[in-house]
């Protein structure tokens, strides 16, 4: 793949496009700021938590989520379009045998609408490289010690595709309501750097 994918280079390109749109009278700075504010207003990890809680209590929804996440999240009023072209969402589920973790090795692609703005460590070069090379050691540093026989799958997001993890439902949470279950789900759990 060619080109500079650093966050600085991407930011510079975005600023150039914004400037061109403004120069041509297609948008104003206020239009751009308003769209960003509107998008981020509803962007929170609570959205992803609602999706996971539903998957935990509704096996048919979980199956739809794993097979076609874009369609399944629409059932709860969410979308991956962000007002622009729709991104593909792939949802993967943790199990006793497999643990999933998400990264974007090129920059910091991430489902903001479902998880809120990405944490600083997700964007760091250290996380982006180490989670691929030594995922078990990196997860241990996050406080997640997995059994030696648990397979770790690393999912690499891109400009077109985003990923989200269905953490294993905590055994003590079997009798909780869907709303209460949603309060257990964390952003780290949705990325795969923590268990619940």
Q: What is the pLDDT along the chain (196 residues), one digit of tens a residue?
A: 334 445 455 567 777 887 888 888 888 877 776 666 666 667 889 999 999 999 999 999 999 999 999 999 999 999 998 655 678 999 999 999 999 999 999 888 889 989 998 899 999 999 999 999 999 999 999 999 999 999 999 999 998 899 999 999 998 998 999 999 999 999 999 999 999 9
The verdict on whether 109 is a catalytic residue reads yes
User: Residue ranges of the domains in the chain?
Assistant: 7-39, 43-191
- Give the three-class secondary structure for 163: strand
The verdict on whether 11 is a catalytic residue reads no
Q: Which of 7, 11, 109, 161 is catalytic?
A: 109
Q: How far apart are CA 145 and CA 61, in angstroms?
A: 29
For the domain 43-191, what is the CATH superfamily, name and number? Nitrile hydratase alpha /Thiocyanate hydrolase gamma (3.90.330.10)
Predicted structure pTM score: 0.81
The verdict on whether 104 is a catalytic residue reads yes
**What is residue 116's DSSP assignment?**
-
Pairing relationship of beta strands 161-166 and 98-103 according to DSSP bridges? unpaired
Within a 10 A sphere around the Cβ of 68, how many other Cβ atoms?
15
**What is residue 151's DSSP assignment?**
E
């Amino acid at each position: 793949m060619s080109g500079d994918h650093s966050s600085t280079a991407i930011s510079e390109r975005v600023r150039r496009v914004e400037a061109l749109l403004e120069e041509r009278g297609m948008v104003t700075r206020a239009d751009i700021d308003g769209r960003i504010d509107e998008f981020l207003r509803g962007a929170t990890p609570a959205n992803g938590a609602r999706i996971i809680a539903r998957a935990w209590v509704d096996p048919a929804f979980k199956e739809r989520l794993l097979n076609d996440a874009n369609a399944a999240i629409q059932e709860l009023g969410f979308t991956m379009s962000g007002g622009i072209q729709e991104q593909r969402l792939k949802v993967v589920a943790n199990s006793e045998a497999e643990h999933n973790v998400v990264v974007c090795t090129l920059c910091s692609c991430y489902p903001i609408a479902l998880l809120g703005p990405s944490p600083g460590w997700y964007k760091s070069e250290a996380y982006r490289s180490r989670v691929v090379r030594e995922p078990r050691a990196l997860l241990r540093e996050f406080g997640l010690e997995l059994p030696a026989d648990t397979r770790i799958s690393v999912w690499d997001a891109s400009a077109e595709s985003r990923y989200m993890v269905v953490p294993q439902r905590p055994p003590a949470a079997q009798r909780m309501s869907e709303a209460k279950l949603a309060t257990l789900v964390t952003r780290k759990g949705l990325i795969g750097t923590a268990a619940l």
